[in-house]
A = this chain, B = another copy of it.
Amino acid sequence: MDLALTETQVMLQNSAKEFLSAELPKHRVREIDDSETGFDRELWRKMCDLGWASIVIPEQYGGLGSGFTDMAVIFEQLGYNAYGGPLLDSAVLSAQLIAEAGSEAQKKAFLPAIAEGQQIFTVALTEPEYGWGADRVKMKATRQGDHWVLNGTKLFIPWAHIADRIIVIARTSEGRTPEDGITAFVVDRTSPGVSTRLHYGWIGDKLNEVNFSNVRVPAENVLGAVGHAWAPVEHARDRATAVLSVYMAGGAQKAYEMCRDYSTTRIAFGVPIGTFQRVQDFVIVALTEADASKWTAYEALWRLDSGQKDTAVGISMAKAVASDGFSKACDASHHVHAGIGVDLDFGLTNYTVRARTFQQYLGDSIFHKARMAKLMNL
């Protein structure tokens, strides 16, 4: 039994703390969020120079080949600072999908570029009939000679507007199960027929509608076997989900700390408001949601890194906890902060909007609990 971080992990944590507190004060987060693309290429470059995009990419493809727990230590700090950019989608989700399903040539072509941050990848899974299961993949790809032709619409695709390549999950045949007949295609964002449009809304990540109109993709850009992409997609999604859960735990931790600190400094009726049991109860909710998110996520990562059984059920539990917990921690923090909390300059809403968004991203609590039930033979 050992709940301590390794020395390497402590180093990663300290360097991330130092970097992010210098580079990402809350007003910077809002500036970047409010900018046209929501993407700061210089910041991205610095993050990649620290090696953050390379951590879980195998050594032979230019990565560090480290465990997901190492990656998560960084992401906990990113969550604490309310900014991740395309790191999760490119360096975890896309990279894992390529590492799992890609051919040697594809791995060599894509992974080093991702690891160095020279190329940004994203995965396009969800569609207008929104949902995270294989049954929600309806978009069709049809074979024409040595090309595939993609037609259809993907919604809520993170960072597609600045991505170099989009891994499109599409249906190439109808199988006996929804999982059958799904194929993954690596598509250049600048290919003719690809168009992206940023979604407008109260969204804590940059999501896009991506349209595909007779987009021709060479057959060699298929990742893995035609019709059998779902298993690697699910594996890659699981890994990204575990890392995202820690990101969310970091955000919940900050939402907790903000309300804890505010409750000791804000004076009402002559005393710190933390004197009032009602205020205390909200602080305690935020604390417990943050702790629950953190420990379920790290346990899931340990299962992943050490090859335990029940890895998938642990990851789904972690995401279910983080999906509910990050939002609840923010709600509780808003209760304590009252009026000041909804002031956009104050900083708390940087977390709330991400809690709302990531509650959904890669599957919400309902999706993951249903998955747990299935995995537990319920």
Contacts and interface: CB of A to CB of B under 8 A. Distances in A.
6 contacts: A276-B277, A277-B277, A277-B278, A278-B278, A278-B281, A281-B281
Tier of interface size on chain A = under 10
Contacts of A277: 276-278
Contacts of A276: 277
Nearest to A279: B277
Nearest to A281: B278
Nearest to A277: B277
Interface of A: 276-278, 281
A276 B278 CA distance: 9
A278 B285 CA distance: 14
A244 B277 CA distance: 37
A331 to B, nearest CB: 16
A273 to B, nearest CB: 12
Contacts of A278: 277-278, 281
A277 B277 CA distance: 6
Closest 6 A-B residue pairs measured CB to CB?
A277-B277, A277-B278, A276-B277, A278-B281, A281-B281, A278-B278
Nearest to A278: B277
A339 B280 CA distance: 24
A240 B166 CA distance: 60
Contacts of A281: 278, 281
